[in-house]
Structure 1
Amino acid sequence: MTEKLEQVLPGDIEKRSFEIITQELGDRTFDPLEEPVIKRCIHTSADFDYADNLVFSPGAVRKALEAIRSGALIVTDTNMGKAGVSKKTLASFGGEVLCFMADPDVAEAAKREGTTRAVASMRKAAALSRETERPLILAVGNAPTALVEICSLMDAGELSPALVIGVPVGFVNVVAAKELLLERDVPSIVAKGRKGGSNIAAAICNAILYMARDGVK
């Protein structure tokens, strides 16, 4: 073995992981509100590329913190992403996380309109946001079609999210969908290129939730 096992208590494993991440990032510096997001994405994926490929619109994290503290709805495009979000922390602010991908009405709408379930899910999220007038955070880690639909809904004046997390992973239309989002004037956190995933979308949500919990302004 070239690596020696470290004796780390179970409760200290995450802390030790972040210490290693900080060490390996060396003398690199980041915006104080963006740094926890970047480091949690690295922690989730063990991929240091997120130090370079995450793009934050101006004030995105601060606006997301305000939304969380106002009882935001988080809508994901996968149940995996939903499962990864800290529901206890979100609930402490009166928020909840939802995923509509398996809903029968979403499946019916997608079939009727000839779209993907991801598109139908984003339309349902937009309608819910209008009905409840609650801040909406959209966390997309899988479907580029969801990002394209979000852009279309915003262009039509039917959607005004507090934050769009655009981190779908893959090869088909992924890069183009992310670039489309980056062209819009909306608070956003985007993983440029092909990388991303539901775990990254959840990690970004959790980084912001933990900052809100810890009183970060």
Structure 2
Amino acid sequence: MNLYIKNPMEIEDKSMDIIEEVMGDTHFTEEETIVAKRMIHATGDFEYRKIIVFKNDFIKEAKDSIKTEGTIFTDTKMASMGINKTALSKTDCKLKCFIDDERVLPLSEELGTTRSACAVDLAVAEGIDMFVFGNAPTALFRLLELVKEGKVNPRFIVGVPVGFVGAQESKEYLREFQIPSITTVGTKGGSNVAASIMNALLYMVVGR
């Protein structure tokens, strides 16, 4: 007797059917719903349908950005690893995570801040303007400081840091900016959530 589904795509399709049944009457557009379902699929948490905030035409701006050549910053290697490389390879974009860059540790010691925040400085210095945050609120805060200083104008920000110290506040602060963004309300988020958002966008642009 076959007790469980074994085909990967069949498992995903069944999961999405279950999520669709629970989504109910949300305020999301069709494309926003696609992103939300991918986030729920990544976490197994239906609560996400109530805490996702899209701002300033995020999906259109992110899709348009992905269609052009550029580099996408991720705050963690975990977020970078979770982004579908087959789909990414169909674009002219690449990923960059500076957390292990040899310049980061001495800079963080000099400035008395986190490596994640210093990684943002390096990204901005290299002209990167697409940003994905799933873990580090200090990095998101630092990016927004640089925005205020006129040193970077992000094309889009995925801002879903997770945790109890600064995560909620960093996302609230991001929502004050007129930047295309997606955030979650409260403490929930994570590198897997950030990757799921990027995958949803990539699948819309280039397919699987």
TM-score (normalizing by structure 2): 0.93
Q: Mapping of 1:180-199 within 5 angstroms?
A: 180-199=173-192
Q: Which amino acid in structure 2 is aligned with residue 31 of structure 1?
A: T
Distance, in Å, in 2 between the alignment partners of 1:9 and 1:54 is 30
In structure 2, the CA distance between the partners of 1:200 and 1:7, relative to structure 1 (3 Å rule), is: closer
* Correspondence for 2:39: 41
| CA shift for structure 1 position 100 | 0.5
* 1:84-125 deviation digits (Å, cap 9, x = unpaired): 011221221111111110111111211122221111111111
| CA shift for structure 1 position 129 | 1.5
| CA shift for structure 1 position 28 | 4.0
Compare 35-44 and 83-92 and name the one that shifted more. Answer: 83-92
Compare 206-215 and 73-82 and name the one that shifted more. Answer: 206-215
* Correspondence for 2:139: 146
Contact 2:87–2:207 (CA<8 Å) still a contact in 1? no
| CA shift for structure 1 position 11 | 3.2
| CA shift for structure 1 position 185 | 1.1
Distance, in Å, in 2 between the alignment partners of 1:6 and 1:54 is 32
| CA shift for structure 1 position 27 | 4.5
Compare 59-68 and 168-177 and name the one that shifted more. Answer: 168-177
Q: SS of the residue aligned with 2:141?
A: helix
Structure 2 unaligned blocks of 5 or more:
none
Contact 2:56–2:178 (CA<8 Å) still a contact in 1? no
Q: How many residues align?
A: 207
Identity %: 38
Contact 1:33–1:62 (CA<8 Å) still a contact in 2? no
Distance, in Å, in 2 between the alignment partners of 1:108 and 1:33 is 42
Contact 1:101–1:118 (CA<8 Å) still a contact in 2? yes
TM-score (normalizing by structure 1): 0.90
Q: For 2:149, which of 146, 150, 156 is the aligned residue?
A: 156
Q: For 2:172, which of 157, 179, 188 is the aligned residue?
A: 179
Q: Which amino acid in structure 1 is aligned with residue 169 of structure 2?
A: A
Distance, in Å, in 1 between the alignment partners of 2:203 and 2:98 is 25
Compare 23-32 and 12-21 and name the one that shifted more. Answer: 23-32
Contact 2:71–2:130 (CA<8 Å) still a contact in 1? yes
Structure 1 unaligned blocks of 5 or more:
131-135
* Correspondence for 2:15: 17
